[in-house]
Structure 1
């Protein structure tokens, strides 16, 4: 992976896999697990983490502000050990307030939630990236309207956090079609690859119209096949917004296959 700009924390978008499976030694998740287990050691140690999770939607941007968040096992049908996982990282109410101030200054409605626990979009990747659980974490929701332009604007309002030692992580999936994950159709992989190739080109080549392309992502090849609903894609839009002013070009930090679909992760150094 390329060296990062030491004066700025990078911005990272990671695929978090299926439920708790990356933590349960699932054979389909070995590539992703290896990536998540190594990427934390390849970037500067953050003072805190702001994680935008695909598994939390509110009417307005909402930030977790509990000093010691619990665990939210927001999945079902897994073995008992999936409900005994822990990730005792502290929260950071002060940082949550600071982030809220940045958003308000940009005219973005925001509230704090002092009850929200860590959902699996948060604890699955972070347990692999930072297993010591010693870095404070603030979770951020998506906004229920799922508007891509608005989510890029949210990221743009947060760009200054990079100068303050905060690692901004978007946790979602570059491909998220549940029916396709369990399909035997041989066309699934090439169809998912078409969207993955488009996304990677937009993010890594950073044409001048990258922002407009992400806003109009539904026009991409196999867009709605790849994301019947876009909640797993939009954490990436927040990342793009936060990174694009200083780091217009992303690196494809991960490229792999999960359940016969192409998935990627991206880093803005």
Structure 2
């Protein structure tokens, strides 16, 4: 497998780049991670912050940034990440789906530009974003990952940018056994020596996992993991297991 696949917990809005103390470990992880990855020719980001009825790909020649957060200092709205758009790759990916859409107007959201600002601060690697599906169906997102498998032989970095714990009401509270139980479910499902069919079964039925809806009242921050796991077709390496916003969160790498 030439491609590299990464699922990360991307933190709260622009807080990582503003020096928030509850994101320092996450920032250190991202800064160090690029030294462990081979430099990709292109990057594909699946961000929790973009949902469409059909698989949709960004293809604007000069993409803007979407400051899709509010209530932060002015500097959070002056951030820049002038990454070139991977237009040819976006078109290639679109061809893998029966009903894909190309979007030449939308910009990169913070699920892309916040983590990439630490991973590749020079913003010199062509990048595109692939939307989630507004159905939020775990089965459809698993199928999306399978549809991307023809790209595994290419030097692409796929990033599932979400958050393995995402209950907005419970951030900044001390972590608890409920979250730990769910994080252990994710670790066991993604890293154990299991047939791919067992991983598929567990993730498609993720709501049956311990405290699943406690950790994810809405699943958009978890679904990028489904795409990544289905795309890889093999077990992952646990590369992050630490606190973000006082909650245990995990990250996985396939390479």
Q: Same fold (TM over 0.5)?
A: yes
Is the partner of 1:194 in helix, strand or coil?
A: helix
Aligned partners of 1:44 and 1:9: how far apart in 2? 10
Q: Which residue of 2 aligns with 1:255?
A: 241
**Contact 2:11 2:245 (8 Å CA) reproduced:** no
Alignment of 1:218 with 2:207, yes or no, is yes
Aligned partners of 2:176 and 2:123: how far apart in 1? 35
Q: Which residue of 2 aligns with 1:20?
A: 14
Q: Which residue of 2 aligns with 1:199?
A: 186
Structure 1 segment 1-269 matched on structure 2, within 5 A: 7-104=1-98, 109-183=99-173, 186=174, 188-208=175-195, 209-244=198-233, 248-269=234-255
TM-score by length of 2: 0.97
Aligned partners of 2:91 and 2:39: how far apart in 1? 22
Is the partner of 1:13 in helix, strand or coil?
A: strand
Aligned partners of 2:172 and 2:242: how far apart in 1? 17
- What value does the CA root-mean-square deviation take over the aligned residues? 1.1
**Contact 1:162 1:168 (8 Å CA) reproduced:** no
TM-score by length of 1: 0.92
**Contact 1:193 1:261 (8 Å CA) reproduced:** no
Aligned partners of 1:215 and 1:41: how far apart in 2? 33
**Contact 1:189 1:260 (8 Å CA) reproduced:** no
Aligned partners of 1:66 and 1:162: how far apart in 2? 24
Is the partner of 1:228 in helix, strand or coil?
A: coil
Aligned partners of 2:40 and 2:176: how far apart in 1? 35
| Structure 2 unaligned residues grouped into runs of 5+ | none
Cα distance, 1:206 vs structure 2: 4.1
Q: Deviations 1:41-89 (Å, cap 9, x if unpaired)? A: 2111000001001000011111000122111000000011100000000
Cα distance, 1:182 vs structure 2: 3.7
**Contact 1:54 1:232 (8 Å CA) reproduced:** yes
Aligned partners of 1:113 and 1:243: how far apart in 2? 26
| Structure 1 unaligned residues grouped into runs of 5+ | 1-6
Cα distance, 1:240 vs structure 2: 0.7
Is the partner of 2:50 in helix, strand or coil?
A: strand
Cα distance, 1:159 vs structure 2: 1.6
Cα distance, 1:268 vs structure 2: 1.0
